[in-house]
Amino acid sequence: MANKNVNANIATKAPFAVVEAYKNIRIRLLSMLEESGGKVIAFTSPNASEGKSTTAVNMAINLAQLNKKVILVDTDIRRATVHKKLKIDNFTGLSDILAREITFDNAVTKYNNFLDVLTSGSITNNPSDLIGSTDFDKLLEQLRQEYDFVIIDTPPVNVISDSLSVSQKCDGVIIITRIGVTTYADVRDAVSSLEDLNINVLGTIINGAGGAGSSYSKYGKYGSYSKYGYQ
């Protein structure tokens, strides 16, 4: 592989309450996936800065801790952050594969024994065209065959249409929201956009529910988006 192997785990640095919250979400997610047989899950949010990338990263790590073969894919090419959170290189990645400038084997990073990461890759002027290409469809099918779970970080659904394009190709999507940031209208618009395309909305994760002074210490309940509202 072109990128160096990494032997780090950001999940171990998280507070105990956050770690336990992720484990709880993992249990519920696995139960839903077992019923449907799905394995490709997109993570999106209504807007930017609501914690979707951090959530996608930690869920990928948590699934890999079950000794499952997992790959985390960053499709947020315009504003990629997965590589920053994991402290890995982003010299080449998804965009370079789709532009046929590099092979998958030379672009993927082995984060640990069970988790691989495909960063967004080089900045390009046509991310929507790359995401909507048949090459992306072929890559996704390859990942389905090679991995137990495929976790995809997408752009915010209310901001960039790429999220809808990616989510249509997945088995389900999880919407990430943040208390004090995401409004009820934001959630309504995100769900409406996804449902209009018959995209399977698995549920919503609420960030920032840890009380005063805590920006990321506890998650709200995980379940149907219809159970949640913001004032």
Is residue 61's pLDDT more than 90?
yes
Model pLDDT for residues 89-127, shown as the tens digit of each residue = 999 999 999 999 999 999 999 999 999 999 999 988 899
Residue 20: per-residue pLDDT: 87
Domain boundaries 13-226, corresponding CATH code: 3.40.50.300
Residue 212 confidence (pLDDT) above 70: no
The pLDDT score that the predictor gives to residue 130 is: 95
Taking the domains of the chain in order of start, what are their residue ranges? Answer: 13-226
CA distance 124 to 126: 6
E strands in 179-229? 201-207
Q: Mark 172-205 as b/e (b = at least 16 C-beta within 10 Å).
A: bbbbbbbeebbeeebbeebbebbeeeebbbbbbb
231 falls in which pLDDT band (50, 70, 90)? very low
Task: Look at residue 210 in the predicted model and tell me its pLDDT.
Answer: 62
